[in-house]
A and B are shown apart, each in its own frame.
Chain A
Amino acid sequence: MNAAALQVRARVAFGSGSDAFTLDVDLPLPGAGITALFGPSGCGKTTLLRAVAGLVRPQPGRVVVGDQMWQDDAAGVWLPTHRRALGYVFQEASLFAHLSVQGNLDFGLKRVPAAERRIALDQAIELLGIGHLLARRTSQLSGGERQRVAIARALATSPRLLLMDEPLAALDAARKAELLPYFERLQRELRIPLLYVSHSLDEVARLATHMVLLDAGRVRASGATGELLTRLDLPLAHGDHAGAVIDGALAAIDQRWNLLEVRFAGGVLHCVQAAGSPPRQVGERLRLRVLARDVSLALAPASDTSILNVLPATVHSLTDDGPAQTLVALDLAGSTLLARVTRKSAAALRLSAGQRVFAQVKGVALLD
């Protein structure tokens, strides 16, 4: 299937007076990969997702998924939710309590005409690792298991678009960690475009290929995750967890020192191979996260340092970050890193756009 784009134009207003809220967006989105709708609580992420699903009716609105028109007020088109080839995963799994796990999985499947089925139920069951749960009642499942069943249930309808509303928010950290790899497998193996609502920057940094930053019902920015996370004019690049994500490939495994060598557009980064982490294969795609606070700058490459990762870079832009610090965006042959240094250091090094520097990266987190 051609990765046809997604087009969402929606205006949803509710409440009145001081409670009034209006979502007003016009968004072209990629027809592949994971797109994160990100923003603080109450910014309209969930409303936007519900508008795409037809669970609320935007007025006016236009929702186009590939070659399918789901809503177009100008043409008088409105498909109710049950006519849209979508899968929806709610924040709480919302499984049907009167059906077994198998019954839940079959519910959507048997309502999809055989000719439209592209994902076999067995495939969804295998992908989410729920084969041993089929005979259970839904009340006998853990939170993570329930969410996995809910995802498999949505997949079984062979959706053209998968919508997820903070599917991890109701889970504790351990259950989250248990579920995250499934999202990555989902993306690798099924290639269904996924719209993912989240207010967790960590989740977004790990999963999303594209992100939409929402603020008070408006689109603040929309673009590739790596790009948005490092744009100095956006709030994402500020704050303690600000950092860049780098997509690369595993170039070598240093067994002696337990290090991974990851090659990306701007060079090579070494990161620690954590104890008990899954076995890796050379050539594997990996995503790294480098926090701004872990990057320092030097004008010449230091040779006698404990820092392994020293990369040549060009200063792209700078902005103040609080009273004492400066945030520096660095260009590494197309990849972007953020460095947070003190204003005093920035002045001492006379940092300015276009300057050649060396980025000293103290910490690299592997996101897979």
Chain B
Amino acid sequence: MLDATSLAAIRLSIELSVVTTLSLLVLGTPLAWWLARGRSRWRLPIRSLVALPLVLPPSVLGFYLLVTLGANGPIGQITQSLGWGTLAFTFWGLLIGSLVYSLPFVVQPLINAFEAVGERPLEAAATLRAGPLDAFWHVALPLARPGYLTGAVMGFAHTLGEFGVVLMIGGNIPGQTRVISVQIYDHVEALEYTQAHWLAGGMLVFSFGVLLTLHWLQPPTRRRA
């Protein structure tokens, strides 16, 4: 059915997606909170920057990441001086690329969720003796839960399906940087259509299942506040 390299690719893809999604949920929360509620004039430029991966071709993104992470790039210089070598063509390089690539898919739902929560519940919480942090944890976060669900699913699914950026900065090293999408490409190149079918079909079923679950969990109409 599935050969060893395919199984390794599946494992790597899932690992990468889980770590990326969890990191983005943690890092994306303060960013989305600030973008949704801040008053800084930097808000709109940063918001546009966050959304860039939505419109840029993955190869463009991958190219710049490769340059940045490479031996002469700014991040490459830092990682080398720390004795880590360059991150391009490693799992960590792939992770950084995924974080950038999937950022808008996680942050945008969080922004929408925080905007939908609005000011009022937090004011109500303040009149009920909840300090800002208390109100964030016990009012804003629970109310933004649908956004977290959407963000997590979208982030996971997108990282799992990413191809262009991976190819640019991760290359195609079995067990290290070869993820499912690249593996499918390899199978097709090698005319191993059966293997390609299993993987591609698996991705299709999985993605459909994820979206269906999301729609089930998401209430069709927003509840009254």
Chain A residues with CB under 8 Å of chain B are 53-55, 80-83, 86-88, 90, 92, 94-98, 107-108, 111-112, 138-139, 153-154, 157, 163
Contact = CB atoms under 8 A, between A and B. Distances in A.
Nearest to B120: A94
Contacts of A139: 223-224
A51 B64 CA distance: 51
A97 B225 contact: yes
Nearest to B142: A98
Contacts of A54: 126
Contact of A96 (B127, B131, B143, B145): B143
A107 B130 contact: yes
Contacts of B130: 82, 107, 111
Given A55-B126, A82-B126, 20 more contacts: A81-B126, A82-B134, A83-B129, A88-B124, A90-B123, A94-B120, A94-B124, A95-B225, A96-B121, A96-B139, A97-B143, A98-B145, A108-B129, A111-B130, A112-B129, A138-B223, A138-B224, A154-B128, A157-B129, A163-B127
A224 B8 CA distance: 81
Interface string B122-166: 011111111110110011001101000000000000000000000
Contacts of A95: 225
Nearest to B123: A55
A265 B87 CA distance: 90
B126 A96 contact: no
B124 A86 contact: no
A55 B124 CA distance: 10
20 contacts: A81-B123, A81-B126, A81-B127, A82-B126, A82-B128, A83-B129, A88-B123, A94-B124, A94-B225, A96-B121, A96-B124, A97-B223, A98-B139, A98-B143, A108-B129, A111-B128, A111-B134, A139-B223, A153-B128, A163-B127
Contacts of B145: 98
A20 B163 CA distance: 54
Nearest to B224: A139
Interface residues of B, number: 22
Contact of A82 (B131, B143, B225): B131
Given A139-B223, A139-B224, A94 B128 contact: no
Contacts of A86: 127
Contacts of B223: 97, 138-139
Interface string B167-179: 0000000000000
A50 B159 CA distance: 46
Nearest to A108: B128
A92 B128 contact: no
A281 to B, nearest CB: 37
Nearest to B144: A98
A55 B122 CA distance: 10
B225 A80 contact: no
A80 B125 CA distance: 12
Contacts of B128: 82, 107-108, 111, 153-154, 157
Nearest to A146: B224
B127 A53 contact: yes
A170 to B, nearest CB: 11
Task: Count chain B CB atoms within 10 A of each CB in A81, A88, A157, A163 and give the residue with the most.
Answer: A81
Interface string B2-31: 000000000000000000000000000000
Contacts of A87: 127
Interface string B79-99: 000000000000000000000
Contacts of A153: 128
B143 A80 contact: no
Task: Count chain A CB atoms within 10 A of each CB in B124, B126, B130 and give the residue with the most.
Answer: B124
Task: Count chain A CB atoms within 10 A of each CB in B131, B143, B145, B224 and give the residue with the most.
Answer: B224
A94 B126 contact: no
A111 B139 CA distance: 14
A234 to B, nearest CB: 32
Nearest to A106: B128
Interface string B104-126: 00000000000000001101111
Interface in B173-225: 223-225
A-B pairs, 3 with minimum CB distance: A108-B128, A88-B127, A111-B129
